[in-house]
Every structure is written in C-alpha cells, then in structure tokens.
Structure 1
C-alpha cells in the first residue's frame, strides 16, 4: 500500500510541477504565437519543409516561453496583488525564483539557437523580441501607458518571423505582416486592460491610453481597429511584393474587421465590461481567422 501511496504522491507532485511549468511559460499564449509564426512561414514558401516548420514551432515556443518566464520573475511581487495572477507559481512560492530563472535562460539560449539553425535573421528577431518584452515593456508597465506601444513590437514579430524563417530576408511582405499584428495589439490589449483596470491599478499598472478608462480611450481603440482593417486589406492592391490577396478575400476580411469595429463602437456607447469582453474575444477570433484566410488565399493562387 505504501508503494501505491508513494506512486500516487509522485504522480500528483509531477502533475503540479508540470502545471506550474505551463503557467510560467503561458502555454496557451505561446501556442497562439507559434500558430502565427507557422502561418507566416506558409505564406512565404513555395515548397513546405517539414523540418523547418518543426524547428520554427519549437524555437518560437521557447522564445515566447522565455519572455513569459522572465516577465513573471520581474513581476513576482505585483502578481501577488492581483486576483488573476496571485496563484501563479512564483507569488505562491510553489516555484523558486532561481528555478524560474534556469527555465527562462535555458529557453532563451535554446530558442535563439534553434531559430539560428533556420537562419541568422530569425534568431536576430527572436532575440529582439525577448529583449524588448522583458527589458523594456515589462519595466515600463508601471511607469507609463506608452508601454503598450513598446509591447506591441515583440507582440507583432511572430507573424513576420515565419516569413523571415522561410526566406532569410526582411522586405515589404514581412513588414506588412508585422504591421497587421502590430495594429491588432492595441484594441486587443486595451480591451483586456479595460477588463482588468481595477486589478492593474492594485499592482500600480495603468495601461489604458492616456491612463483613463473612458470614451477618449475607446476613441483610440476605434482608430487602431480602423487602421488594422486598412492594413489587412492593403495586399489586394498588389503593392506588397509577393504577398497579395484576391478581391473576394479582401471583402471577407472587411466583413471580419467590421465585427471588431462594431464592438469597439458599441464599447464607446455603452462603456461596459461586457462589451469590452466581446471586443476582446472578437479580436482573438479576428487574428486567428485572418491568418488562416491569408494562407488559404495564397494556396488558391
């Protein structure tokens, strides 16, 4: 019976450690970033190389996992103040900071090395992403709402990274992919910041545009949503190199973008958390579908 008890105990311990590891590296977020990178890769290639696809997925995952781990090390004390984050492994003490640091550093070295094995430019963008997220965005969060602009840069790199991994070059095509994901960050993140406004305040973060949760902030959300819709359909004009879309695809993207715009305008009228949540969910749907639609369109050419 003791042997069975020990086995069950080990199993429970392993399960807890694994869950803590998943929380530290934010597996869900990391996988959505990998999805973006793979979509960018598929948009660029003529012939798919499975080995590169696998390396990109692993390297991308490690890169985001490292950023998230460093972020949670830096924000251990502020995470303890917020309902959403207080049960993370570091604030609760389930994981030691030194262990989290080992994971973060290992992920950084491994991730950049794997991206370098694809090509040097991929590794460079991976390194820039980790540096900006951990060394600039994270410390700025407690100082100024402008941190969101800095955070949008590493947030916009994954989609573009896939193209760079496929071509080893940075040109107008990956530049457009970067712009699309860059503009998307603002309505998406500000919808989250709206929902978490009071919680963020407890931790000393104020990430709404101009620091206010009001109609002026929603005007910014509407402007950036409009910019996102515009840059998403620009490839139909065939001014963006080998990255272009059919007119019917542009119409579908306009309809998709208008859903986000609808919730942004509704938020301006209602100013409620319910609408902010609808906007946030519609933004997640938008960025997922747009990447799938681009890839499908490309393979129809």
Structure 2
C-alpha cells in the first residue's frame, strides 16, 4: 500500500517564502544595489554592505508579496503564476500580509540604520511599485513607464547608501537602469502576451505585437546604450568609465541592439525571449564592468 509523501513543514515554509518574495528577482535587485555601493564607496564597509543586502532584499521581497496579494485572483488565471503560494492555496492572504508587513518594517529600519536617504528611496520604491505600478498594469500600457521608476532605484540606492548623497552619479545609474527596463519588460510582455491577456494585463506600448511596439523596443535600446556610455565623457562626477571599458560596454550594446532589431524583423516569441535574455546579460555585465573598471584603473 503506497503512501503519499508530504514535504516537511520547514521545506514548505522555505519554498513559500522564496516563492512569495520572488527570490531570484530579489537577489538580482540586491546585486544591482551592491554594484552601486561598490561604485560609490571610497572604502568598502562590509557591515554596511551586509545591511544593504538585508534591507534591500526585505524591501523588494515586501513589494513582491504585496503585489501577489493584490493580484491573487489574476495570478490564478495565468499559467506562469497560478502556482504561486496564494492562488495555489499554500499561503493565506492574512499570512502573506503579515510577511509583507514584517519585511517592510525590517527593510526600512535596516536601510535607515545605513542613512535616512537610503530608507527614503527604499520607501519611495515600495510605494510606487505597490500603489501605482501594480494597479496600473490592468489599466494602461503606461504601467511599464511608472514601474520603471521603482525598478531603477536599486542601482542608485547602493551609491546613496555608500555616500549619503544624491547627485549626478546616482542620477546617472538611475537613468541607465530606467531606460534598460523598457526593452527588457516589453520583450517579456511580447513572448508572454497570451498569458498576460488572460489576466488582463497591458504590458506592450500599443497593446499589440507589431512593428510599432518593436520600433519602440529598438529606440529604447539605443537610449539604454547611449546612457551607459555617458560616464566615459567625464561629465558625471566621480562616476567615470575608462575608454577601454567604454568600448566593451559599446560592444555589449551592439549585441543588445542586434537582438532588438532582430525582434523588429522577425516579430516572433523566440526573438523576444532572446532579447529578454540578452537584456539580463547586458545589465549584469555592465554593472560588473563598471565595478571592475573603478578598482583596476
């Protein structure tokens, strides 16, 4: 007689926590903050870096939990989200809200212990993501524009954590990640178009997978690459990029633009997925190159 194997409670709790906070996404956001900190710090304080990681994860995780509470009925309609803890019945709304509230309090307190400006930008990020971006996703394609603001804060947040100052340097980091999000999220919106449609989400700029959308993808890709090269000109204060690193970033940009143009030509889900992967590689390598450039020159 066979018995049904049930996972240990600890395993279920860990899985629910990593799923509800979208661990992979949250870690990638924390990575951006760490890169920003390393760029801004005169000397690296590993305790501050640790606090930034903890506070950053809590804030991003809280945003993701609030998002899933609000969208629980819509998540149940889409294939990619129906197995999330709330729609799958593995976590109640009340439990999720408790988790989100605890993460918010811890995140704000930890970021405030670094400096007040860091906590302020963290609070702005969570407010815009939950109160503006999330409800707008089912109402207008402009939601991507609104969501790009909180999405661009982490890279900048690291610099503010290191310097307790907001100026041209973190503003430039913000601008790079702001423009980058358009080709990235429109690529996702393209190959998940049918699934998003089930939940009533409007993610593409004109609501259609056509040349109009693809042209905008190409244009914002160009803006992303140009913004990424501004530090080479020496006009962004302490944020400077050597010509050698500028050439490398430029080559990465050509690669990203290749996939954007390919989407324009082919207009297929495959091309959109390749652009999405290329965009993730681009922003990750860009941040690594920026940091390496600072420490080797």
TM-score (norm 1): 0.96
Divergent runs of 4+, >3 A: none
> Aligned partners of 1:118, 1:177: CA distance in 2, in Å?
20
Aligned pair partner of 1:281 in 258, 261, 277: 277
Counterpart of 1:272? 268
SS of the residue corresponding to residue 86 of structure 2 reads: helix
> Aligned partners of 2:273, 2:108: CA distance in 1, in Å?
35
The answer to whether 1:132 aligns with 2:133 is: no
Counterpart of 1:48? 44
Q: What is the CA RMSD across the aligned residues, in angstroms?
A: 1.1
Counterpart of 1:218? 214
Shift of 1:18: 1.2
Gaps of 5+ in 2: none
Counterpart of 1:201? 197
The answer to whether 1:293 aligns with 2:289 is: yes
SS of the residue corresponding to residue 92 of structure 1 reads: coil
The answer to whether 1:74 aligns with 2:70 is: yes
> Aligned partners of 1:287, 1:269: CA distance in 2, in Å?
23
Shift of 1:12: 2.1
Counterpart of 1:97? 93
Shift of 1:193: 0.3
Counterpart of 1:157? 153
The answer to whether 1:258 aligns with 2:254 is: yes
Gaps of 5+ in 1: none
Write 1 or 2 for the structure with the bigger share of helix: 1
> Aligned partners of 2:63, 2:18: CA distance in 1, in Å?
13
Counterpart of 2:174? 178
Counterpart of 1:167? 163
Shift of 1:17: 2.1
SS of the residue corresponding to residue 94 of structure 1 reads: coil
TM-score (norm 2): 0.97
> Aligned partners of 1:13, 1:221: CA distance in 2, in Å?
45
> Aligned partners of 1:290, 1:231: CA distance in 2, in Å?
12
Shift of 1:58: 0.3
Counterpart of 2:113? 117
1:113-156 residue CA offsets vs partner (Å, 9 max, x unmatched): 10000000000000000000000000000000000001000000
How many residues align structurally? 294
Shift of 1:46: 1.4
Shift of 1:271: 0.5
SS of the residue corresponding to residue 93 of structure 1 reads: coil
